[in-house]
Structure 1
Amino acid sequence: MNLHSQSLKALLLAAALALPSMAFAAEPGMMKDGMMTDHKGMTLYTFDKDADGKSMCNGDCAKYWPPMMAPAGAKAEGKWTVVKRDDGKMQWAYDGKPLYYYEDDKKPGDMTGDKKKDVWHVVREHM
């Protein structure tokens, strides 16, 4: 094997390993049937008490409403941003609003958390 083919194989391996993290680095969610889901089809929510791009759902709240976590070094584009949580971890936000899952949603398309306590809402196209 010559040096050129070794370099090419190393480059291809590096690209293949980078693809999964890059595949949705810019847009971790998508609109499906008028509501936003992650790439597995799980519904995403916002919390009315969040303000100025900061999550107010921590501790026990985050057990019931797990944040949509962003990997270290995630790059966001357009309406997508990454916000720092109280624990120092990073969370995806859309249009300045941190995003969450709901613990009781068990399968893609479930949206049992919509309008919970009048402060939790499914992210919809008209945001």
Structure 2
Amino acid sequence: MRAPRVFAMLGGLVAAASLSACALSAPKAEPVFQAPTEPTASAGAGAAAGGEAPAGIGGPQVLRIAQVDGFSPLLVNGKGRTIYRFDNDSNDPPTTTCVEACLKTWQPVLAPNGVEVDAGLEEDLVGTVTRPDGDEQLTLNGWPMYYFHEDLKLGQTAGHGTGNAWFAISPSGGRAEKSADGPAPANKPQVLRVAEVDGLTPAVVVNAKGRTIYRFQKDDNNPPRTACAGDCLKTWQPVLAPNGVQVDDGIDEDLVGAITRPDGSKQLTLKGWPLYYFHKDLSLGQIAGHGVKDQWFAITAGGGRAQRD
């Protein structure tokens, strides 16, 4: 798996544009991969104005993908703080409209000392836009990125949906989606059970709500290893169990295990195969992911591939 790379956002990457009291526009920046730069005076001013300082004095800002209960994959910083986008902004060209009073609750994500992009996140999507105060605000696919002042640690997403305009940002720059059928609710175990599904044989593994569970041919089961990262996570959601797992009759609990993903979350395995949901399956009987690219298959109770009737 690709090791993290550190790159710096150098002054002048984003051309200046006309400023108004409410917005700043600038052409889309191309990220430059170099050694991190030294802190600047404007970076310090930005932090004082409400933008969270990068991880550590002189250290790079960290961007990584996380799986938070009830959400599709989203972006967090090195400490696990949720990162957001604002629908009133623009990504073409990158434009921030969050100024003045807005900055009391939404803090621009800055990177005066460069950026460390963890595996799974496309480096080419990361850029900057110059704010009215001169700070370089990080962008993802052109969208300026922010923190919410009430989020302080991993799992807090209090800003999501605010004003129907603020949303946790996905690894591709879109809105992260709430998913009641995803990871287990707080304090409840993840459930694995067996169900008969029309069109497949034998019976397949589903969650408590009947959502079909899949395996990926490019993964390994001995030792267990996941090959699904980056763009793969836009459509395939790891089956997690932050509060344990409940195995119903029909599944040998000795076959159930877990691996640690790059973001630190625990993904369930069955006979060593990492388990996933498909984003288009929402209820019992849906098997839209079976056979995708001849690599994804509904998984049977013994860890094998289900077959079409």
Tell me if both proteins adopt one fold, taking TM over 0.5 as the criterion: yes
Note if 1:103 corresponds to 2:270.
Answer: no
User: Normalising by the residue count of structure 2, what TM-score does the alignment of the two structures yield?
Assistant: 0.31
The CA deviation at 1:21 is: 3.2
Question: d(CA) in 1 for partners of 2:263 and 2:242?
Answer: 14
* Runs of 4+ deviating beyond 3 Å: 74-77
Say which is worse superposed, 38-47 or 98-107, in terms of deviation: 98-107
Q: Deviations over 1:29-64 (max 9, x none)?
A: 111011110111000000001112111101220120
Q: Sequence identity of aligned pairs in percent?
A: 31
Kindly indicate which of the two structures has a greater share of residues assigned to strand: 2
1:15 aligned partner: none
2:194 aligned partner: 31
1:122 is matched with which residue: 282, 287, 298?
Answer: 298
1:21 aligned partner: 188
SS in 1 for 2:277: coil
SS in 2 for 1:117: helix
Note if 1:86 corresponds to 2:262.
Answer: yes
Q: Is the 8 A contact 1:70 1:92 kept in 2?
A: yes
Question: d(CA) in 2 for partners of 1:122 and 1:87?
Answer: 25
What 5-or-longer segments of structure 1 have no aligned partner? 1-19
1:67 aligned partner: 238
Number of aligned residue pairs? 103
Kindly indicate which of the two structures has a greater share of residues assigned to helix: 1
SS in 2 for 1:78: helix
The CA deviation at 1:75 is: 6.4
Amino acid at match of 1:88: G
What 5-or-longer segments of structure 2 have no aligned partner? 1-186, 197-202, 247-252, 305-309
Root-mean-square deviation (CA, aligned residues, Å) is: 1.9
User: Normalising by the residue count of structure 1, what TM-score does the alignment of the two structures yield?
Assistant: 0.73
1:43 aligned partner: 212
